[in-house]
Amino acid sequence: MNHTPDPAAFIRASLPARPVPGVPEIVIHTAAPESRLGRLVENSLACSPPYWAYPWAGGIALARFVLDVPETVRGLRVLDIGSGSGLVAIAAAKAGAATVLAAEIDPNGRAAQRLNAELNGVAIDGTAADLLDGPPPVDTDLVIAGDVFYAADLARRSADFFERCAEMGIPVLIGDPGRAFLPRERLLALAEYPVADFGEDAVGRGFVYAWRI
């Protein structure tokens, strides 16, 4: 009988805490070859690959932007969609957001979020709810999302959610390296940064966009 380790204990022991490339102010537990991540995910309740275990280009760019332009989030109630490791949520908390709600459906990702927030000395709230098919929470002043346009169905649902946010006057900031499903016609480019994407060694570009209202 296979035994799935406790997520928090496994992450703490097997995924080293490392500064994020391009955002060294933030440290997160990051998978390495020796982490043997499959031991955690093979029998877990997670419904997706362990994307949370690595920093992605869009999240890195968006976290960098939030820290560089803290007035973007300062004093606001921020919702981070598809939060993964919590990188962008942590950046928002460090930059002075009033509250940060990190939405992540993967239970292992939520465990990583809690550990990473503790590492960085900030408080973020987490939710397992899949929020994309409903209205944005009423207590939201700003939505942030890194790397949600890598698959067609997720991109469609995300775009529909961001459109509903825009209709309610809620600003949306998006981080992405320019993936195929990115709805460029709905976006206003704000910034770009040199970053490496998930699974790639070469440095490319990560972009920050505002959803057009």
If you write DSSP's letter for every residue of 93-110 in order, what string do you get? HHTT-SEEEEE---HHHH
Whether 2 is covered by a domain: the verdict is no
**CATH number of the domain to which 72 belongs:** 3.40.50.150
Q: CA 149 to CA 127: how far, in whole Å?
A: 21
The first and second tokens of residue 43, run together, are 């029998």
Which residue range(s) make up the domain with 14? Answer: 7-211
Q: CA 143 to CA 206: how far, in whole Å?
A: 18
Whether 141 is covered by a domain: the verdict is yes
Whether 1 is covered by a domain: the verdict is no
Q: Assign 35 a pLDDT band (cuts: 50, 70, 90).
A: low
Whether 151 is covered by a domain: the verdict is yes
Reduce the DSSP state of residue 8 to 3 states and report it: helix
1: pLDDT strictly greater than 60 = no
Q: CA 44 to CA 42: how far, in whole Å?
A: 6
Whether 110 is covered by a domain: the verdict is yes
Structure-token match 């976290």, residue found: 63
Whether 118 is covered by a domain: the verdict is yes
pLDDT, tens digit, 9 for 90 and up, residues 144-199: 999 999 999 999 999 999 999 999 999 999 999 999 999 999 999 999 999 987 76
pLDDT, tens digit, 9 for 90 and up, residues 55-108: 999 999 999 999 999 999 999 999 999 999 999 999 999 999 999 999 999 999
Count: domains in the chain: 1
* 145-to-45, 59, 60, 201 alpha-carbon distances in Å: 24, 8, 11, 23
Q: CA 191 to CA 61: how far, in whole Å?
A: 8
- Sign of the C-alpha dihedral computed for residues 59, 97, 24 and 37 taken in this order: negative
Whether 200 is covered by a domain: the verdict is yes
- Are 88 and 79 spatial neighbours (Cβ–Cβ below 8 Å)? no
Whether 114 is covered by a domain: the verdict is yes
* 100-to-31, 41, 162 alpha-carbon distances in Å: 25, 27, 17
